[in-house]
Amino acid sequence: MSKIKAKYDVIIIGAGSSAYACSIRCAQLGLKTLCVDNLDTNTSSGAFCNAGNVGMITLLESAKLYDTLLNDIDSHGIFAENVSLNLPKMILHKNKILDEINHNVIKIFAEYKIDFINSKASLIAPKIIELSSAHSPSQQIHAKYIILATESIPITIPCTPIDNEFILDSTAALNLTKLPKRLAILGAGVIGLELAAIWNRLGAETTLLEAQETFLGLSDNQISRQAYQIFTEQGLELRLGARVISTKIINKKVLIEYQDADGTHAIRVDKLIVASGRKPNSESLSAPEADLLLDENGYVHVNENCKTNLPGVYAIGDLTLHGPMLSHKGMAEGVFVAEHIAGIGSSSINYNIIPNVIYTEPEIAWIGQTEQALKAIGDRINIGIFPLSINHQPKSVINANGMVKVIACANTDTILGVHIIGCHASELIAQAVLAMEFSASSEDIARIIHSHPSSAEALREAALVIKNKGLNS
């Protein structure tokens, strides 16, 4: 075993969103930085970004264009004939976007003199990692600080063994080059719904099997009810309380057995996508002798500054239980840890106002508390709801369904939660994040002049409704 002479201030294990954000910020602050990850250089995987998110959004945009050309474009006075789907080319387009992002990050790494090593890495002691590669002998590298950022991986289920031919994980589901006639998705959470939005629009008969009895249980009940209605009208078949008990490959089809309140059922599909959640990618993250503290589910224990139980070792992103498994949460933690190491007194991350987004069509986004959660603890609240179907700008957009819902404290008028389902919800929620960061009231939003017509003014309209001043409702 060889040793590399200590020359790094910071080593970051991982190359996803949180890792590259942390690497860049460390380098900006003058820290000699090394990023290490075991990448498959033979595939276009979006190594230096959240390939799932970016790939998902890219394919959804393509699917929306295809669906519009087939079904809605004539309402604009535009007629398209002989519209056809070239799925392999669509996948190539998605991979090209991922490659462009990767090349841009590689360029930034070079500009900031960030080193990168493509290798497996394991923490073997505080301030020491070990590299292992099939092409070179193992090596040890020392650094003053080590940041763990290996993100998460899909959860596997014994009764749905993934072969990525008939039973696919969420990554393989973004690389299909032949459209399945019938498709089932195990899990109607964020990833399952995003994948369903793509393949349903491309023409696959899509069924979602969700073990939970409730739909989108973490979101506001009013939003989830409307989402269920909209997605059902779009042709998605949502089966709640459906627990898959077995799968078999028979004559190149997947036979799925599941149980619900009515008994045992079976469906036969061309492909089954397993989207039953994710878990921290921590299985080979550290050697036993390192004594890194993990919980029974593989999450790394950290304090409010993302410090682990080991001196000089931090963990960020999906590896920790702090906040949801979201790219922007991990990136914020990466920047925070870099500044903490450099001695910059930045404030701690407010995990209560991290926006959640589901990239479906329409999109779903929310921040803060739900109506049901606030009522459960007895808080007095005021609610303003504005349907996007009557907002002037979205009315010009095909299928302008959805709403904006603002929840404010009845006593102080402080905004406690904002929930959106509709076109550009992922963009609209940024207004709410800014407002809640500065403890704004619904009156503050109501008094801000928004451009008209615009999707953005829907948030103001919802705030006006709280004061019974709505201009369009």
CB 436 within 8 A of CB 353: yes
CB 322 within 8 A of CB 18: no
452 is catalytic: yes
CB 58 within 8 A of CB 93: yes
Residues 330-367 as b/e (b if ≥16 CB within 10 A, e otherwise) read: bbbbbbbbbbbbbeeeeeebeeebbbbbbbbbbbbbbb
Q: For residue 106, what are the contacts with CB-CB under 8 A and spacing of at least 6? A: 48, 116
Question: What's the number of CA atoms in the CB half-sphere (13 Å) around residue 214?
Answer: 9
DSSP code string of 403-434: EEEEEEETTT-BEEEEEEEETTHHHHHHHHHH
Question: Angle at Cα 360 formed by Cα 471 and Cα 177, nearest 5°?
Answer: 150
Burial status of residue 243 (CB atoms within 10 A of its CB: 0-12, 13-18, 19 or more): middle
Q: Which two tokens stand for residue 382?
A: 């005021």
- The counts of H helices and E strands in the chain are 11, 22
Whole-number Å distance between alpha carbons of 430 and 435: 9
- The single residue of 76, 265, 392, 452 carrying the catalytic annotation is 452
Q: Which residues are catalytic?
A: 452
